[in-house]
Amino acid sequence: MAHSESEQSSDQQRKKELDPLVLERCRDLVGSKFPWDINRALELALLKTFCLPSISGLLHKTGEFEKRPRKRYDDTALIVAELVRLGPDSPQGQAVIQRLNQIHGNYSIPQTDFVYVLSGFVAEPIHWIEKYGWRALQPLEQETLFKFWDHVGSLMNIEQRPRSLREVMQLNQHANHQLFGYAESNQRVADATVTMLLAPWPAPLHPWLRSLVCSLLEPETLQSLNWPLASCWQQQAAHVALRWRSFILSGIHRVMPPKRRRFYSERPTASYGKHFHLEQIGPPSMLSSLNTARGED
């Protein structure tokens, strides 16, 4: 896609640096104000990426989500958390971006797939928090999410990404309604992911929890994954429970506004325990070459 000189100049500026105020606002959103909500929203965004057969087909081919779903999930969550915590322009953040680009460079991935995944990091938290957050995101906060992930997209050389929040939201909705389609790989990868997410819970609760997940997804998503539509009472029960949570938190936060930041990467993970190193991130079959390439930089 060709861009005008002004767009190219804008891209170069975004690649130079991210506004420190944008980074701080994003850290507040992810680390203190809405950490639980954003994690849940990004889990739904992850499931929706499997509705594009081009994405699920590649993931099924690599086998990472089916053989090692926990590691693949933790790797993604750790990368996201570290980019926000460290800032994508810091030396450590640049190393994370480099790692991400090296991993993706081993596959032939269309720009359209990168763009859709990037849009989910913006659109899904906005939608989720609007429905279930203890308050809706303010326009400035929505713009903060867009600017942060747009900057990350520029560092990943995603040239076809939308250039405004409105365009991101429109693209995401268009893909959800027009580009989703069933493939066997969709269901295989999604089933493995949900099984992993439910593993810490007692087995008798798994059928109910699976229904809960389905109740949070739109019909076009469920159809693309070949998952059953949740019953009306299940959808209503999930909605009421999450709204009650938001009501209670709203009252608490009026008295005690959330201040302490804590990111996913600062918590123990099932894959790595209390601490992890960037050299551990990525498919096991690639780790040797990835770490050799990093050592040569």
The answer to whether residues 163 and 7 touch, using CB atoms and an 8 Å cutoff, is yes
CA distance 93 to 294: 14
Provide CB contacts within 8 A for 245, sequence distance 6+.
132
What pTM was computed for the model? 0.91
Give residue 5's pLDDT: 44
Alpha helices in the chain (DSSP H): 5-16, 20-28, 35-49, 53-62, 64-67, 69-86, 91-104, 111-132, 139-155, 165-174, 184-198, 206-215, 219-225, 232-255, 287-296
HSE of 194 in the Cβ direction (CA atoms, 13 Å)? 22
At 127-179, the pLDDT tens digits run 999 999 999 999 999 999 999 999 999 999 999 999 999 999 999 999 999 99
CA distance 151 to 253: 30
pLDDT (tens, 9 = 90+) of the chain, 297 residues, equals 344 444 444 444 445 789 999 999 999 999 999 999 999 999 999 999 999 999 999 999 999 888 999 999 999 999 999 999 999 999 999 999 999 999 999 999 999 999 999 999 999 999 999 999 999 999 999 999 999 999 999 999 999 999 999 999 999 999 999 999 999 999 999 999 999 999 999 999 999 999 999 999 999 999 999 999 999 999 999 999 999 999 999 999 989 988 889 999 999 999 999 999 999 999 999 999 999 877 666
Provide CB contacts within 8 A for 178, sequence distance 6+.
none
Give residue 17's pLDDT: 87
Instruction: Enter the tokens of residue 212.
Output: 């809960």
Instruction: Enter the tokens of residue 83.
Output: 């980019």
